[in-house]
Structure 1
Amino acid sequence: MDGYILTIIGVALTQMTTQLDLTTFWSAMVGASALLGLLVGGALFGYITDLVGRHVMYTLDLIAIFIFSVLQFFVNSGLELTIIRFLMGVAIGADYPIATALLAEFSPKKHRGRMLGILMSMWYLGALVSYIVAFLLMNLGDSAWRWILASSAVPTLILLVMRWGTPESPRWLLSKNRVEEAEDIIKDVYGEEVDLSHETGKVEKTRFKKMFEGIYLKRTLFIGLFWTFQVIPTFALYTFAPQILGAFGLKGENTSFISEVVISFFYLIGCIPALLLFNRIGRRPVIIWSFFMMTIGMLILGIFPNASIFVVLLGFSIYAFFSGGPSVLDYIYPNELFPTDIRASAVGMGTAFSRIGSFIGTFLLPYSLTYLGVSATMIIMAVLTGIGLIVSIAWAPETKGKTLAEASGSE
């Protein structure tokens, strides 16, 4: 759902720009407004989720996303759509810490990393599906973009039904000393033989500033920085993929569509080797080598802007494929490196931190293409990705094989 909503705007913009008479400024605002909402939603609701629990927020945010999805159909200006997309972003940003904390706290050590990684890979599946759906709906005429945007109500409604009945996180309940409730839920899920006695007596008060104290300060900076330099190019490429591909000479409806689907496909399948490797060779090698290859992909695009379609797609595909490493770790690292009392806050802070950069990058990309050209734009992307590589070499920890308690403890 997240990947679907955030990327389908790129196709809709190709038609609505004329329909709504959008200037470069409003085109950029429409494209980037949801990312600004993610910043607010992640930072605010991560902390609220740690305070009030995962269960209540898990449903409310989807109801909000459904309503805003439908409202997109009725907008008549760039301002109206910017406001609605911003509010959708707030709700989506809230879902990052809620859903990932809930999954991490229910998952056994053996499967936790893979389950969180699969969750992130589904983002790319949603993005891929959005391009296909948007292409099919483009035949509906001048108002096709309205149906394209409103179509996100369908996966949201499906997910709302699927989430119904999800219990509260036992780890969160234990962190609030609600032991009997936690025991009832965990035994209902995993069986009567489960013993939680070793988990009791560990009540911790949720303190937002704990993320900026001691060892957690470095972890907060690491999560925010690596996530930022991973998503800036990704969101910019997804949001304005038709315009970027056009700047490389890949024009025509069918050519652009095929190119977008190919690139999205590489984003998706790139998660597979990462999911297979991070439990074998570790989180740290995966993220370092991934950022290195992503930088190479961007450099190919920056150095050879006038190359053939095969070279252009090669550069994009290398970047997309190796994005799988940092992408699956977007959810794994913050959930493993922080304790239960601030876990959702940490995911929310990582979301907010990264969306500052992705909002700025996505907003400025149309201007960069217009005034600097596609070659310089891709070189800038390569530099940003290279900074992500440096951050990972300097600070990426290894949490392979550790329980949540071990991984989130102080060094």
Structure 2
Amino acid sequence: MTTRTERLDGLPFTRKHRRLLFGSGIGWALDAMDVGLISFVMAALAVHWSLTPTELSWIGSIGFVGMALGAAFGGLLADKIGRRQVFAATLLVYGLATGAAALSTGVAMLIVLRFIVGLGLGAELPVASTLVSEFAPRRIRGRVVVILEGFWAVGWIMAALIGYFVVPVGDDGWRWALAVGLVPAAYALVVRFGLPESVRYLESRGRVDEAERIVRDYEASAGIEAPGAAAGAAAPATAQPDAGDAPPATAQPDAEAASAPASEAGESIWSPRLRRRTAALWIVWFGINFSYYGAFIWLPSLLVSQGFDLVRSFGYTLIITLAQLPGYAVAAWLIEVWGRRVTLAVFLVGSAVAAGLFGLADSPATIIAAGMALSFFNLGAWGALYAIGPELYPTATRGSGTGAAAAFGRIASIIAPLLVPILLDLGDTVMVFGVFAAAFVVAALAAFSLPERKGVALEDT
């Protein structure tokens, strides 16, 4: 007999998988669009509201305060009430708050609403990646999660297009840009009623009939006949894994399979078995958040401060952002060739080199070239990070483990935008991006200490 999770792991990539990936990916892209828009709004408000660098840095950072809290509580809620429920709720929260932010009458109102936006944004990302990783076939699980992360580039490009075509149209252009952020609120309905709940979560809650029904739907999508016995029965002999999969392990009886997650429930992410990987994961999350958000939230404003007008600086940012897509594509391929750990570390080292070069860039050509390299390597690293995170923890703590790491990383995303004006006062962009490069190096060193999970079943975590 095979367990439900083994049956899922052995399936080929089907129409059902594609629908889950695309449905989750749209939510991911909308999240990225919202985060990206604030960088263009900051640049516009610096001109239209004559804001100081300190005020701008708080507008940029406050959302990450909310994201830190959202990531921690979102992961805990996902382990308590389900991945899909939390995913839909987060879309609703940040979509409504972003639309309301378009009506802001001053800095204080905008800051409060951006904090609420951050709560929803922070909770969504670790929950969505956990949901997708728990359905993806084992032999391509890392690649599927990196493709999910690739939707971030789509969302950021959408933000850059809105920034380029909408924000500069007038004094209220930034308001129309934020109004687009209402779209995620409507999309929450699609997530709630169109995507399945995690089979592993359902089993951990004793909802085996629902879990069995979902697994059979996925098997039917693959052209595999459903088991004829009661829920939990073995898959038929024809349901063999794809070529390249490991042979299925000896099955557990349903009672044993259902009890396994329960036995894991008491294991802390800081238990002797998990604490080393947790510490390393937290360091990677901190370093990549610090450098990514410090650089990209301030990028349009830094270009304006160097003498480029809004339209030109937004145009450069759009070109730089386009390099995120090939970064994800290469990482998605390498993660199943090199493995998670090496891919993550190499892309972090590439990010460090690109950040150093960007700090030294002094012409439009070198700014664009170094910026595109930074986009390529940085976003490839993000993809690998989201792939490896859910693989480090057992089912009962997978949501909270990935959420806690994301929450710790958000502390860095809070600090970095606040630190940029201080670093500029102490030096110039060379110092700013030199600090970012150093953070990438530290993250790369931590990545090498993570366990390699390529081809390992989630239950063997």
Q: TM-score, with normalisation over the residues of structure 1?
A: 0.92
Residues 38 and 352, structure 1, Cα contact 8 Å, conserved in 2: yes
Range 34-43 or range 108-117, more displaced: 108-117
Other structure's SS at 2:288 match: helix
Residues 344 and 385, structure 2, Cα contact 8 Å, conserved in 1: no
Listed as ranges, the matches of 1:228-307 within 5 Å are 228-247=286-305, 249=306, 251-302=308-359, 304-305=360-361, 307=362
Other structure's SS at 2:321 match: helix
Residues 168 and 311, structure 2, Cα contact 8 Å, conserved in 1: no
Distance 1:300 1:139 in 2: 29
Query: 1:402 maps to which residue?
Result: 456
Query: 2:85 maps to which residue?
Result: 56
Listed as ranges, the matches of 1:112-191 within 5 Å are 112-158=141-187, 160-161=189-190, 163-191=192-220
- C-alpha deviations, 1:131-170, integer Å up to 9, x for none? 1012211354211111111211125424543552323211
TM-fit CA distance, 1:241: 1.1
Distance 1:188 1:389 in 2: 40
1:29 corresponds to 2:68: no
TM-fit CA distance, 1:301: 2.8
TM-fit CA distance, 1:342: 0.5
Query: 1:390 maps to which residue?
Result: 445
Range 180-189 or range 82-91, more displaced: 180-189
Seen in structure 2, the aligned counterparts of structure 1 residues 372 and 209 have a Cα distance that, compared at 3 Å, is: farther
Residues 264 and 320, structure 1, Cα contact 8 Å, conserved in 2: yes
Query: 2:280 maps to which residue?
Result: 222
Residues 54 and 169, structure 1, Cα contact 8 Å, conserved in 2: yes
Query: 1:73 maps to which residue?
Result: 102
| Sequence identity (%) | 25
Distance 1:35 1:207 in 2: 29
Distance 1:102 1:227 in 2: 19
Distance 2:266 2:441 in 1: 31
Q: How many pairs does the alignment contain?
A: 403
The list of structure 1 runs, each at least 4 consecutive aligned residues, that deviate by more than 4 angstroms after superposition, is 205-209
Residues 232 and 357, structure 1, Cα contact 8 Å, conserved in 2: yes
Q: TM-score, with normalisation over the residues of structure 2?
A: 0.82
**Equivalent residue letter for 2:279:** L
Other structure's SS at 2:274 match: helix
Seen in structure 2, the aligned counterparts of structure 1 residues 369 and 150 have a Cα distance that, compared at 3 Å, is: farther
Seen in structure 2, the aligned counterparts of structure 1 residues 166 and 269 have a Cα distance that, compared at 3 Å, is: same
Distance 1:209 1:43 in 2: 17
TM-fit CA distance, 1:250: 6.2
**Equivalent residue letter for 1:15:** A
**Equivalent residue letter for 2:432:** T
Query: 1:379 maps to which residue?
Result: 434
- C-alpha deviations, 1:309-364, integer Å up to 9, x for none? 22222222222211233211222111111011001101111110111011101122
Range 376-385 or range 322-331, more displaced: 322-331
Q: Over alpha carbons, which structure has the higher Rg?
A: 2
Other structure's SS at 2:51 match: coil
Query: 1:356 maps to which residue?
Result: 411
Supply the RMSD in Å over aligned alpha carbons. Answer: 2.1
TM-fit CA distance, 1:111: 2.8
Distance 1:127 1:334 in 2: 22
Distance 1:331 1:48 in 2: 19
Residues 121 and 327, structure 1, Cα contact 8 Å, conserved in 2: no
Distance 2:91 2:356 in 1: 39
**Equivalent residue letter for 2:86:** M
**Equivalent residue letter for 1:12:** V
Query: 2:372 maps to which residue?
Result: 317
